């Protein structure tokens, strides 16, 4: 869904928001007044959590894409059969007119 005025899709805005949040959280961890080992531990936990979330988002996105592709294939098959039936009916009507 593309917004014609701004040129941005809702997906790109959401992705930008999520990336900004991740960068902000990472900077907050780095700039917090803690010891080095504590900060490294928090960064590792944060990055592991983000990897899990990213994998979950990717799985959801793949599922939505696959669902959309399947729906599109079904729609195309349906329209293809309607078009084929109309074409056959047209051929038959033409043949009848030619035989008259």
Is the pLDDT at 50 greater than 60? The verdict is: yes
pLDDT at 42: 81
Distance of alpha carbon 84 from alpha carbon 80, whole angstroms: 6
- Give CA–CA dist 76/78, Å, rounded: 5
User: Which residues fall within 8 angstroms of residue 22, CB to CB, at 6 or more apart?
Assistant: 50
**Residue 1 banded pLDDT, cuts 50, 70, 90:** very low
Q: What is the mean pLDDT of the chain?
A: 81
pLDDT tens string 20-40: 887 887 777 777 777 778 878
């Amino acid at each position: 869904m593309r917004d014609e005025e701004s040129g941005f899709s809702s997906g790109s805005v959401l992705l930008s928001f999520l990336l900004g949040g991740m960068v902000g959280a990472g900077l907050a961890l780095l700039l917090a007044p803690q010891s080095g080992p504590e900060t490294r531990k928090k960064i590792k936990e944060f990055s592991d959590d983000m990897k899990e979330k990213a994998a979950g988002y990717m799985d959801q996105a793949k599922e939505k894409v696959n669902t959309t592709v399947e729906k599109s294939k079904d729609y195309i098959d349906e329209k293809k059969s309607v078009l084929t039936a109309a074409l056959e009916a047209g051929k038959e009507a033409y043949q009848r007119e030619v035989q008259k």
